[in-house]
Structure 1
């Protein structure tokens, strides 16, 4: 799915930009271990010959917390945007924006 030299950047993530297919896979493995995904609904998709942009609304839980906020069984809903660039039939660049502020606010609300 990724080129060997894929650029992967989750904007605002502590690790900063990463490169390589294994680094991208490791990010998603960690995210999916922390996030119980209940729904990811595509809001809008834009695409061309060598790119794709997808805006989502995500809903789920972070049982063990997120970005220093407590976890628990509290549901969260947040927006996410992914920008993909392709080389051949593989992803050569991926930028991800997720609304971490909304997640933390929901996890810490009284």
Structure 2
């Protein structure tokens, strides 16, 4: 069983790699046989660390100047629920919307399960898409 501190450390490491657009670093926080599920993403859940690569490469092209603010965290024996706010810019096409390098801020809910070794075994992410659509109106 992982302690809250160990889960916090892994999650903060994961977010730090995301904030620096570091694909290899993010992938290293995931278990080799992880389940990666961004709810609503066209591929649906993917399985295995390498299968998550495409999502992060696309994410880092679509969003920049990433900052994460943790709002709340809840813990279980091998899982964490993290409510965060992401802020930055949208130079690409986040979630299929033209970003035009506009500022963007939205809430996320991560449900993370951890392996006995401390890697992220399952990442399930819920995004406030309504807020994103309001901030990135399309012509």
Residue of structure 2 in register with 1:57 after alignment: 85
CA contact 1:37–1:58 (8 Å) conserved in 2: no
Residue of structure 1 in register with 2:135 after alignment: 106
Residue of structure 2 in register with 1:11 after alignment: 39
Distance 1:24 1:79 in 2: 21
Deviating beyond 6 angstroms after TM superposition, the runs of 4 or more aligned structure 1 residues are none
Residue of structure 2 in register with 1:44 after alignment: 72
Residue of structure 1 in register with 2:60 after alignment: 32
Q: State TM-score, norm by structure 1.
A: 0.87
**Aligned residues between the structures:** 110
Q: Which has the higher strand share?
A: 1
Report which stretch shifted further, 20-29 or 76-85: 20-29
Sort the Cα spacing of 1:77 and 1:49 in 2 relative to 1 into closer, same or farther, 3 A: same
Q: State TM-score, norm by structure 2.
A: 0.71
Q: Which has the higher helix share?
A: 2
Sort the Cα spacing of 1:25 and 1:77 in 2 relative to 1 into closer, same or farther, 3 A: same
Residue of structure 1 in register with 2:122 after alignment: 93
Gaps of 5+ in 1: none
Gaps of 5+ in 2: 1-28
Sort the Cα spacing of 1:68 and 1:25 in 2 relative to 1 into closer, same or farther, 3 A: closer
How much does 1:52 deviate?
1.1
How much does 1:44 deviate?
0.4
CA contact 2:97–2:138 (8 Å) conserved in 1: no
